[in-house]
Structure 1
Amino acid sequence: MGSFSAWHWLIVLTIVLILFGRGRIPELMGDVAQGIRAFRKGIDGKATGETDKDGADADRS
């Protein structure tokens, strides 16, 4: 009762394609990938101790 058969996945895939279209899905995945890259870049910047210019100027004054 809790498992999905191949027919369930086929129906879900068909509905997703109808709602979003063929061109929209790759565009959404590209946006998600850019968001993940930006998030990782922000995490790496904070982990290495980088500060933005405004923060560095505020410490000096």
Structure 2
Amino acid sequence: MGVGGISIWQLLIILVIVLLLFGTKRLKNIGSDLGNAVKGFRGALSDAEKRDEEEEKKQAGAEPALTSEQRTAESADTPEASKDKGPATKS
């Protein structure tokens, strides 16, 4: 028994039928075209990943990330924050 219930003899018969239908030259062309398509697809994926990484680096350089301490210090410096923190006095 072969792969998935198909024996080696059945696979050979299918191969012979495909060779008779398409011929060796056409199968060779189909194989090389398929290989070029896969190579182009992989190249496009790697180019897209490189572009994404470059955009992330540009965004990180333009907008430096603030730590939680820096955000707290900035919010304390605003006038609205100081108004809310003032002592409550009765008039």
Provide the TM-score with structure 1 as the length reference: 0.70
Q: Identify the residue that residue 39 of structure 1 maps to in structure 2.
A: 41
Q: CA deviation at 1:10?
A: 1.8
Asked if 1:25 is matched to 2:27, the reply is yes
Asked if 1:12 is matched to 2:23, the reply is no
Q: Which has more radius of gyration?
A: 2
AA paired with 1:49?
Answer: R
Moved over 6 A (4+): none
CA distance in structure 2 between the partners assigned to 1:40 and 1:5 by the alignment: 34
AA paired with 1:40?
Answer: R
Q: CA deviation at 1:15?
A: 0.7
Q: CA deviation at 1:7?
A: 2.1
Q: Percent identity?
A: 34
CA distance in structure 2 between the partners assigned to 1:6 and 1:41 by the alignment: 36
Provide the TM-score with structure 2 as the length reference: 0.49
Out of 31, 39, 49, the residue aligned to residue 51 of structure 2 is: 49
Root-mean-square deviation (CA, aligned residues, Å) is: 1.8
